[in-house]
Amino acid sequence: MNIYSAPLIAFLLVLILMPAAIPILIKLKFGQSIREIGPSWHKKKSGTPTMGGIVIIIAAAASLVFNYKQLDSMVWYALLCAAGFGFVGFVDDSIKIIFKRNLGLRAWQKLALQLLVAVIFVFGGLASGALSTEVIIPFMKRALDFSWFYIPFTVLSILFVTNSVNLTDGVDGLASAVTVAVMAFFGFSSLIFSTPLSVFCFTMVGALLGFFIFNRYPAKIFMGDTGSLFLGGAVAAVAFLSGNPFILILVGIVYIVEAMSVILQVASFKLTGKRIFKMSPIHHHFEMCGWSETKIVAVFTAVTAVLAGVSYLIAG
């Protein structure tokens, strides 16, 4: 079997598994609880089955396992990092469902578990040689050795990226569509530099395209933190395993803006008592301005795709 059949396998597995998973999740009452402070019209989504990220994980992992003899260790590091964050999301989702509330793990608990996954990934990657302290500076087209500073820089960056992707998952299809463009970029750029990560990236693209069919507006299922943290872990892992995390400043601009909108909103309200945006993350601001969820997904994904194209030219 050709390793590049993995994306097609992942896509087909999602198409096969998701129609079976949705009624099971509904029967188990694994429905999404909607935050009271969110847009009022989102309340109609309450009860929509969540934790669809489990199917994404199964499809991607199974597709790669089918080709395990032909894959480099870097692929498994990427998958394990993503799965580690996905597990944190699974625990968070499970608590939300069991106690029928929107908040799962306490913030410090969630951060501590994420920190543990990030630290294991960084130290394991450095020990095995999968990671290097040299980081590409894309705008200068040269590598810079971060030496001892690499560890705290990478750990904190992984936490920021992962949680930024998690924040992006706020309207139907947004996180999956944007991440398709991001993973496609890393897949094609990996081909340029002949790194083994292209198979992992394109497999993620295949799984996400399958998921988007069920997650686009109006969503039949949500990915939950299980899915969004898995995606965040995958994006962060690929960025650092490729030695090119700074390219996320362009290709991951949507993630960054989503996270910064929350940070700025909270800081502004605490310091001045005033809000910068009508609601944060910023996709909710555009909703409050009258944008439909479909328009938000289309515009945010288009911006990502254009900047991914620019990033591809820089990477080349």
Q: pLDDT at position 116, please?
A: 98
CA distance 57 to 197: 17
Of the candidates 81, 315, 79, the residue with the CA atom closest to the CA atom of residue 197: 79
Place of tokens 């705008």: 139
Place of tokens 């002949």: 194
What pTM does this model have?
Answer: 0.94
Chunked mean pLDDT (size 10), the chain, 316 residues: 78 96 86 58 72 96 84 91 97 85 83 98 95 88 90 98 96 97 94 80 97 95 96 98 94 97 95 92 94 97 96 74
Main-chain phi, psi angles of 143, to 5 degrees: -105, 145
Q: What is the pLDDT of residues 35-71, one digit of tens each?
A: 555 565 556 677 789 899 999 999 999 999 887 767 8
Q: Where are the domains of the chain?
A: 3-246
Residue length of the chain: 316
HSE toward the beta carbon, residue 126, CA cutoff 13 A: 16
Q: pLDDT at position 93, please?
A: 92
Q: pLDDT at position 316, please?
A: 59
Q: pLDDT at position 1, please?
A: 45
Q: pLDDT at position 248, please?
A: 95
CA distance 313 to 198: 17
CA distance 139 to 97: 45
Cβ atoms < 10 Å from Cβ of 178 = 29
Of the candidates 276, 249, 172, 184, the residue with the CA atom closest to the CA atom of residue 216: 172
Q: pLDDT at position 123, please?
A: 97
Task: Report the first-to-last Cα separation within the chain, whole angstroms.
Answer: 30
